[in-house]
Each structure stands twice: as C-alpha cells, then as structure tokens.
Structure 1
C-alpha cells in the first residue's frame, strides 16, 4: 500500500533523474535463503514501482601455488559447466518470480567475478535502489555474513544492503513494521531516513528503538561518576529525547507514517531482536554511537544477523 500523502521516492533521494528504471538487485545461488531474498525483493519492487535485477556469479578457480597445473587442466570444462548451471539458475529464478509477480520488470545478470565484486558493481550503478542477499546458501553469493563476502559487502555497499535469513516466512503479501535502531549518530540518521522512505512506500508503521542500559553496569570501568548518572529515569528520558529529536525532521517530511518510539532498557541487540517479528524489517546504521559502534564488524552485528527471523537492512 502506498501512502496518499508525502514525497515521492524521487523527492526522498530514493530515485534519481536517470531515465532508466530503478531496480532492486538480488543475488541468487539456488538456496532457500536466496529464494526468500528474491521473493522479498520482488514484493518490494512491485509495491514501490521498481524493477528487479537477478544476479549470480561464476568466477575462475584459484590457479596459483602447487595445484595450479591441476586447476588449469580442468578449468575450461568446469567453467563451461558452471556457466551453464548459472544461466539455468537465472532463467529458473526469473520464471519463478514472474509466476508470482507477472507485472514485474525483471533483468538477469551473469557476472564473471567474485560474488562481492559482482554485487558491488551493481550497487554502484545509479539505477540500483538496494542490494538484497540471503544470509545462508550453497556457496557463492549466498554465503553472505558467514565469511569475507558479507563483511566486504557490509563495509563497501553504497546503497542499503538487505539480508534475508535462512528460514523466512513467505514475504508475498506480508505487511510488517519497520524497526529502526536510533542512537543519534550520522549512520543512524541515514538508517532512519531509509526506514521512513520504506514505511511511506509500503504503508508500514515505523518503530524507533533507542536502547539504554543502567549506568551502574559501567561504573566500575568508568571511575567516579556523579550520583545523578545512576538515575535510571533520567537515563531513559534522555534516550527518549534522543529518539524524538532524530525523528522530528523525517516525521515532518513523511506525515503519513505512523511512528512508535520505544526507549528500551536493554542491550541494543536484545532490544531490536525482541521488538521485531519475522514480518518486520530491522534497519540499522553501519556504525553508530554507544551500543551500535562497530556494527557489522563485531559481535553486535553478528548477533542481529544471526538472531533475526526477518530481513535486516544495513545503511551506510
């Protein structure tokens, strides 16, 4: 459902002045995780008036070191077979998604590159609105967030990166909320802007979560602190003020979006995961202040991505 009021995507920075249709780019490898990513991308594209580009990658085997002769000997035939399998996968994925969304504009892309490079190249194109991947797969693109592929994408992707879990309920027809982590940092503001655009486009409620923890938990490491710092009520009020201040501008820009502010006494990971359902989209900045610092490079990001039962969007 698209809201009746509020700016169009082009006015919100989600669209550009290029004549080419904006697209969701989704990486597939034949796994359930990438199938969920494809379905979610298609559902979003239909609601937002976008197209979809389905991407898979076939890249050369490593041909250096003591096994280089063996690799070179079998590379030609194996590369040809992998390419045929990849093209068959793309055709199947296209036909499958068009059976569900026959009105969707779908493109296919077979890249001769590493998975991360293939998706980053697509992400850099002006028509790309977001990149969507599965969190688990059979190898290749859908190994995201298990190893270096996901870390590289998270660190370098210039557009929002959305990750779908291995086990995800059908996205078709599901109407979830947008759960955004708010901490007052610049990446958090950009995550909030993306969350509002998304909520406006699909007619969803936005839940702004600002987590706080009792100062007593950190006192031994901080040294002497004033007594008022131990007032949980004051800390909670400050967290709520932070969230409300950050919400003021996007709320004015998108007056049709219903907003719920939650100041939660918990670790940020716990606060976000407990708030979200499998139908909700969790949106976080790539880095933040306080609890979100180092997101995607440490335990906070891994906990959210491994613990979420629905999609997670990372915004730089």
Structure 2
C-alpha cells in the first residue's frame, strides 16, 4: 500500500515503452485509467504547478477524477531485426525524481481540491506523446505554458501547440502569473471566439458548460475586418452591401443562429454577443483581460489542416493573460462571416 492510502498500480505504454508506475486514491474507473478524467502534465516547475492548481479545481467543478502524468522522455533503443524500438530503462535517480514530482503534485492537488479522486502515471515517452495517448480517454488535458525536463519544450509554440492541434479532447494551456505578481483574481466571465452557425456547436457547448460550472457570464465574440484593398468591381454588385453596420448586424444574426440550440439548455447562463470590426487575435486577447477562461477553435487552413493551428489560436496561446481552452473544429467548409452574408469582400478574422 502506498503512502496516504493510495494503491500502487502499473501500466504499460501502448508504444512499447517500459512499465509506468502509478497510484490512485479512490475506486477503479471504467473504460481505462483516464476515462473521463482531467489529465495534467507536471514536471515540478512553478509553471506546471499553476497548471496543476487549475486542473485540480476543474476536476472538482466537474466532479471528475484528476490524472497527474510525468514524462521521462527516455531515448529509444534499437532492437533486434523485425522488432520495434524500445526505450532505455530509467536510472534510479530518474525514477526517484519522478516519484518526488508526482507525490508532490498529488499532495498539492489534495490541498487545492480536497476530495477529488486522484491518480498518477510516469511515462517513458515525450511529454506530447504521453499526453496525446492519455487524451484519447480524457475529458480534458491541461498543460502549463512552459516547464522543465521533458516538459521544457512546452513553451507555447511547441508541445502546447502540438497538443492543441492534435488532441482529440479539449486542451487548456495555463499561463503563469507575471513574475512577482499573485494569481489573477476571479473575473466571473468566460470569453469564446465564435464564427457563427453550426461550426460552433462543440465550442459553444464547452463554453456554456464551463460558464455554468463557474457561475460566470459567457461572452461570444466574433471579430471581423474588411480587406485592405477592395476590388471596385465588388462595389458595383448591388447584392453586396459593404456597409460595416449592415455586415455587423448580419454576423450577429449568424452568431445567434449558432447559439439557438443551446438557449433552453443553458438558460441560466447570462450570455452577451459581441461583434467587432477588428483583428480577431487582438480582440480576443483584449477580451481575455477580463476573463477567467478564453475558448478558441483550432481550425487549420489549406493542406496542413489538422497539422497546425490557425494564427488566431496561436496568438491567443502566446498572449492571453488567462487560461486558454482550444477545441478542434470539425467540418471543412469555409468559416462563416460577412462574406457568406452578402459581403463577399469581408474577411473574418479567426
């Protein structure tokens, strides 16, 4: 029996890595060790500590389990012919350090969110590989914006970006507070960047649910702008109205159309729609100044769709002062916006 009444268990990575040791407080879960859990990557750094605090509180709000994972990023060792590569076993010092990191994280989580069922694992894989594997069965994955050791590459733009672009479940990237400053005070607001129409369904459901859990208002923000150069031929087409007020009104209608299926289910969540003629990335980051959570989609463009994030999502991850939740958008159609509402020259940002 592990210290504190936690049972020790063992798992094996699907990638053929060495055995991962783990602990659990509470009963077994159906569907695998992380089924429906909030999963968080830790490395003992202050940044991962902030992510852990957020994840523990999120697990409490959801009534979910918290899965703490530490990645060793062990090098691969070439095996015999016709056999797959295997990872080198961890040294005794590496194993001791991993146990210290995980035990410290579990104690911290228990202090932040008493009563939350916790479990842990140590993966031989890289941080992104370990988290992506666990994301298959997690309700949510939480990472810090930078870290140490195997998570040292978790500077926004590398592992965090990869997680946000590839994770099958929502990913939340938690930035640390500015150096020397205390954690941000609660704002009581969730901001979601929306396109409008059916493209927002998953994002809206997530944003509404997060707002309800926090007793917060929800702000649905759509920012758009006209291209710098407008073809004079477009202005000669009677059906295209380039009046910004007209386009803004049409975009608002489209956003309202997208949120209509959720009005009754989330009638208790105060909702505000904002339509701004501005660059989406900057509009979202500015709105995030007064938010507890920013929710954006990860729709990629062109032949790299699904491999990289859109520019708006990347900008938000780099500059938003609050945690940013990224959801992969589904569907390959063009993003809704003024150009689909009678303003073919308008260009939505996002």
CA distance, structure 2, for counterparts of residue 144 and residue 187 of structure 1: 29
Q: Name the TM-score, length of structure 1 as normaliser.
A: 0.79
Over 3 Å counting, the alpha-carbon distance change for 1:229 and 1:143 in structure 2 is farther
Larger radius of gyration between Structure 1 and Structure 2: 2
SS in 2 for 1:230: coil
CA distance, structure 2, for counterparts of residue 144 and residue 176 of structure 1: 28
Counterpart position of 2:343: none
Counterpart position of 2:107: 95
Over 3 Å counting, the alpha-carbon distance change for 1:60 and 1:223 in structure 2 is farther
CA apart distance, 1:138: 1.9
Deviations along 1:90-114, one digit per CA (max 9) or x if unpaired, are 0011112212322221111111112
Deviations along 1:249-285, one digit per CA (max 9) or x if unpaired, are 1122211111011011111111111111265211111
Which of 132, 140, 145 does residue 120 from structure 1 map onto?
Answer: 132
Which of 278, 293, 306 does residue 318 from structure 2 map onto?
Answer: 306
CA apart distance, 1:136: 1.2
Counterpart position of 2:147: 137
1:57-76 matches, within 5 Å, as 57-61=71-75
CA distance, structure 1, for counterparts of residue 242 and residue 40 of structure 2: 47
Asked if 1:265 is matched to 2:277, the reply is yes
CA distance, structure 2, for counterparts of residue 19 and residue 55 of structure 1: 15
CA distance, structure 1, for counterparts of residue 306 and residue 250 of structure 2: 22
Aligned residues: 282
Counterpart position of 1:233: 245
Counterpart position of 2:54: 40
CA apart distance, 1:39: 0.5
CA distance, structure 1, for counterparts of residue 94 and residue 58 of structure 2: 30
Over 3 Å counting, the alpha-carbon distance change for 1:163 and 1:119 in structure 2 is same
Which region of structure 1 is more displaced relative to structure 2, 294-303 or 94-103? Answer: 294-303
Which region of structure 1 is more displaced relative to structure 2, 152-161 or 293-302? Answer: 293-302
Over 3 Å counting, the alpha-carbon distance change for 1:184 and 1:159 in structure 2 is same
Asked if 1:170 is matched to 2:180, the reply is no
CA distance, structure 2, for counterparts of residue 98 and residue 87 of structure 1: 16
1:181 and 1:188 in contact (8 A); partners too? no
Deviations along 1:148-173, one digit per CA (max 9) or x if unpaired, are 423332222111000011327537x8
Deviations along 1:115-149, one digit per CA (max 9) or x if unpaired, are 11111111112xx2100001111242363354542
Q: Which has the higher contact order (CA 8 A, sep 6+)?
A: 1
SS in 2 for 1:224: helix
SS in 1 for 2:272: strand
CA distance, structure 1, for counterparts of residue 45 and residue 72 of structure 2: 16
Q: Name the TM-score, length of structure 2 as normaliser.
A: 0.72
1:144-163 matches, within 5 Å, as 144=154, 146-163=156-173
Counterpart position of 2:117: 105
1:191 and 1:283 in contact (8 A); partners too? yes
Relative to total residues, which structure has the larger helix share, 1 or 2?
1
What stretches of structure 1 of length at least 5 have no aligned partner?
1-15, 65-74
Which of 219, 228, 237 does residue 217 from structure 1 map onto?
Answer: 228
Counterpart position of 1:204: 216
CA distance, structure 2, for counterparts of residue 182 and residue 91 of structure 1: 40
Over 3 Å counting, the alpha-carbon distance change for 1:209 and 1:24 in structure 2 is same
CA distance, structure 2, for counterparts of residue 216 and residue 123 of structure 1: 39
